[in-house]
Each structure stands twice: as structure tokens, then as C-alpha cells.
């Protein structure tokens, strides 16, 4: 294998997705957001009124995971600048790379980040059969043999735009999906720091959608701790630092500092 594999795991809002995307941009790596795939399956299940906690729905949800076409597309080109100058620059995150997520051809990028999906995703992610299906797709994506458009596996690697490697982020990338990754990083930060980040993100979102909404910090913290607990304590593939992963505490680091650190580590190992 000559494609470099970088695995980044960590709890919710640890900053790993932004960091992984920007590191991918700098390194010319492909970026795979494994959490977005669980979110897409959650959306598909909720749309069919399937409940992650109902026994009779469990196998239907796994079936849905197997038959859904989930397509991830990360754009590294900055979108055009907004036309007005009335938006404060702090709310412009447009220069960050973005991952577009398609479910059976429909753009669900924003919908999968809604509180409803966020609060239900851990339940779906603890379904063993759903995990089996998605882990197989994630491994195949990392080795370039999964055709997302057709939802089929190809016997030979598909031709892609010459990425030099793959960075995947999630909860079990270093432990389960890519156990032989060339570099594994476990990113974390205190719950308070992570909730503050999520809180600011939600405020920014409601600002850019021009909806006035009161966001309660304590509720954000509480939801985050609930998801942490479920991700850390579930029986199958819990969130866990792989033995050979490096620990990165991002509590007092900016995204740029995290990216610099990770890029430096990759270049040392490559």
C-alpha cells in the first residue's frame, strides 16, 4: 500500500473534523467523514419512522444502511465571497473546506447536522449490523474500491484525482476501520471547551440562516455529555484511543495549531 492512511478519532466537537479537513487540504489527501455516514443513515431511518430503540426496527435500519447510497464530497475551493459586507467576518467560515453529503442523490449536508439527527445518531451507531455495513464501506472508500455512485464495491481501485493518502475521522477509525493506519491521532478537549465550540457554531448557524433562536449553553453541554457517554460506553466499537495512537489535547489550541501539528507528524512519518 502506498497511500498514507491517517486516522483521527475523538469525542464530539473536539475539533477533529475541521482539523482533518484542513490537514487533508494541505497534504493533498482525500478526506472521509465517517460520522457523516452514520448521520445519513439516521436521517434515512427517521424519515421512515424507524426507531433505533425498537427491536423490530433494528434489522430494517441495517438494511437501509446497506441499500442507501451515501456519497461524500469534500470541496477544498473556497466558495464565492458573500455579496454584502453586512455579515461580520466572524460568521464567515466559507474559506474552510466543506463536506457535501448526498443521500440517494439528495443533498442532505445541512439536514444531517440538525439537533434531531445529532440526538439520535448514537443510538443508530450502536446497532451492530449498521456498523458492519458502514465499516465495510469506510474501508473500501479508504482503499479506493467503493463506488459511492453505484453503492457497489469494485475489484480494482477506482481512478481518483491523485490524492497522496486518506484522512478519516470518527470514533473507531484507529481501532476498527483502519487498524494499520500509518498515523493515528486521538484528539480531545474538556467537555466545557467542546460545548463552547459547539455553542458558538450553533449561534453562527442561526445567524447565517437569519433565524433568531436562543441557544442554551447548558443544554448544549448536556446533549454533548449524553452523546459522549453513549459513544464511550457502547459495547460495540466504543470511542477509545488505540494503543498506538498519539494523544492530542486541543483544549488550548486553535484549529491552525492543530493542523500544523498533524501535518508535521504526517511529514515525519511519510
Q: Is 5 in the site for ligand C5P (CB under 6 A)?
A: no
The Cα 142–Cα 148 span in angstroms is: 12
- Which of 21, 39, 137, 198: binder of ligand C5P (CB under 6 A)? 39
- Which of 133, 170, 184, 220: binder of ligand C5P (CB under 6 A)? 170
Cβ(161)–Cβ(76) below 8 Å: no
The Cα 238–Cα 230 span in angstroms is: 8
Q: Segment near ligand C5P (CB under 6 A), from 30-38, 67-75, 205-213, 251-259?
A: 30-38
Q: Which DSSP category does 183 fall into?
A: E
Cβ of residue 33: shortest distance to ligand C5P, in angstroms?
7
Q: What b/e string do you get for 92-115 counting C-beta neighbours within 10 Å, with b at 16 or more?
A: eeeeebbbebbbeeeebbebbeee
Cβ of residue 205: shortest distance to ligand C5P, in angstroms?
15
- Which of 120, 122, 166, 258: binder of ligand C5P (CB under 6 A)? 122
Of 186-225, binders to ligand C5P (CB under 6 A) are: none
The Cα 211–Cα 208 span in angstroms is: 8
Cβ(82)–Cβ(9) below 8 Å: no
Looking from the CA of 96 toward its CB, the CA atoms found within 13 Å total 16
Cα-based distances in Å from 159 to 1, 44, 162 = 15, 29, 8
Cβ of residue 117: shortest distance to ligand C5P, in angstroms?
9
Cβ of residue 179: shortest distance to ligand C5P, in angstroms?
13
Cβ of residue 237: shortest distance to ligand C5P, in angstroms?
7
- Which of 6, 7, 8, 12: binder of ligand C5P (CB under 6 A)? 12
Nearer to ligand C5P, 81 or 93 (CB): 93
Q: Is 184 in the site for ligand C5P (CB under 6 A)?
A: no
Site residues (vs ligand C5P, CB under 6 A): 12, 34-35, 38-39, 121-122, 125, 170-173, 227, 231
Amino acid at each position: 500500500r502506498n497511500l498514507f492512511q491517517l486516522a483521527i478519532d475523538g469525542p464530539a466537537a473536539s475539533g477533529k473534523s475541521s482539523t482533518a479537513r484542513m490537514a487533508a487540504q494541505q497534504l493533498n489527501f482525500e478526506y472521509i467523514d465517517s460520522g457523516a455516514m452514520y448521520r445519513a443513515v439516521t436521517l434515512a431511518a427517521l424519515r421512515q419512522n424507524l426507531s433505533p430503540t425498537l427491536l423490530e426496527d433494528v434489522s430494517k435500519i441495517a438494511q437501509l444502511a446497506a441499500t442507501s447510497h451515501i456519497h461524500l464530497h469534500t470541496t477544498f475551493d473556497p466558495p464565492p465571497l458573500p455579496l454584502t459586507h453586512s455579515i461580520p467576518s466572524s460568521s464567515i467560515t466559507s474559506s474552510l473546506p466543506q463536506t457535501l453529503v448526498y443521500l440517494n442523490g439528495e443533498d442532505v449536508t445541512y439536514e444531517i447536522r440538525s439537533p434531531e439527527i445529532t440526538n439520535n445518531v448514537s443510538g443508530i451507531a450502536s446497532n451492530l449490523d449498521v456498523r458492519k455495513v458502514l465499516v465495510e464501506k469506510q474501508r473500501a472508500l479508504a482503499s479506493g474500491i467503493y463506488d459511492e455512485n453505484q453503492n457497489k464495491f469494485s475489484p480494482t481501485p477506482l481512478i481518483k484525482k491523485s490524492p497522496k493518502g486518506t484522512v478519516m475521522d470518527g470514533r473507531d477509525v484507529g481501532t476498527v476501520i483502519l487498524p494499520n493506519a500509518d498515523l493515528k491521532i486521538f484528539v480531545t478537549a474538556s467537555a466545557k471547551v467542546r460545548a463552547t465550540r459547539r455553542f458558538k457554531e450553533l449561534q453562527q448557524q442561526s445567524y447565517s440562516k437569519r433565524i433568531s433562536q436562543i441557544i442554551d449553553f447548558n443544554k448544549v453541554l448536556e446533549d454533548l455529555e449524553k452523546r459522549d457517554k453513549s459513544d464511550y460506553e457502547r459495547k460495540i466499537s466504543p470511542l477509545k484511543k488505540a494503543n498506538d495512537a498519539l494523544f492530542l489535547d486541543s483544549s488550548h489550541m486553535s484549529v491552525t495549531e492543530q493542523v500544523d501539528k498533524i501535518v508535521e507528524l504526517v511529514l515525519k512519518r511519510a
